[in-house]
Structure 1
Amino acid sequence: MEIKLMKSDLRFQKRCIYRLNIRHSNFFLEKGDFGICSADNTLITPYNINCCRMLLKRELKKKGRVHVRCNFNIPKTIKSTGVRMGKGKGDIDHYLGHLSKNDCFLEIKGVSKLLGLKLFRKISYKLPFRIKILDL
């Protein structure tokens, strides 16, 4: 059975980013030995996480495991180029994830401390915000 949305229900699918009241805490490690936390409140894209994941995959090979702890649940709308103003809100282009200060969004398991610090430095170049390392 397909659910059809009324015009009034459509506005809840395309939420405004800044009206969200997101409160959560991911400061503790769940599965890994090292965690990478954000030092600022920020929005993160799946592209950023994918860059970090590919870098870790290339460096770790089969030595360790990577766990991603980030939800992308904020829709970002965009209008195509050349469209005039008006005519409602644009279509959903991609989704963003919200990171609060001290939120752990990547966990690495099965890695020595020296290699963990090396990976931390490389990941910090790939992300558009400041990060911290969290270890046991």
Structure 2
Amino acid sequence: MTRWLKGETGLPTETQLYVLAVTGHHPEEWKSRRRDAPAATEQGNCFGITASLAGLRLSSPLARTASPRMAVWQIRLDEFLSRAARMKDQRPGTVPISGASRAAESLCNRIRALGAPCAVYER
């Protein structure tokens, strides 16, 4: 992390995706941190830094309120981000979907745009 902050190396794709998924902000936004955000230093560890960031109230463009009713569809995200990063340019197999699944496909399209594979499965 320190080398990336100094501009000496790139940030792994899976780390970029993780930061975006957790915070709703790209890593570059954190690099040019806000005044109220804790400074990144060479001391500390990931857990300590994460705990200090948890207290911040950042507005996330990805934050959404959950619907109280269950959807008739589900999506599955690859749990192995490094594998997902390698596969990000591959398209999953396509199958016909119902009109009710269009929202799921729309969500998957946004997830794919962030670089992660996503597929819609009918229940």
TM-score by length of 1: 0.28
Name the structure where strand makes up a greater proportion of residues.
Answer: 1
Higher relative contact order (Cα pairs below 8 Å, separated by 6+ residues): 1
Higher helix share: 2
Larger radius of gyration: 1
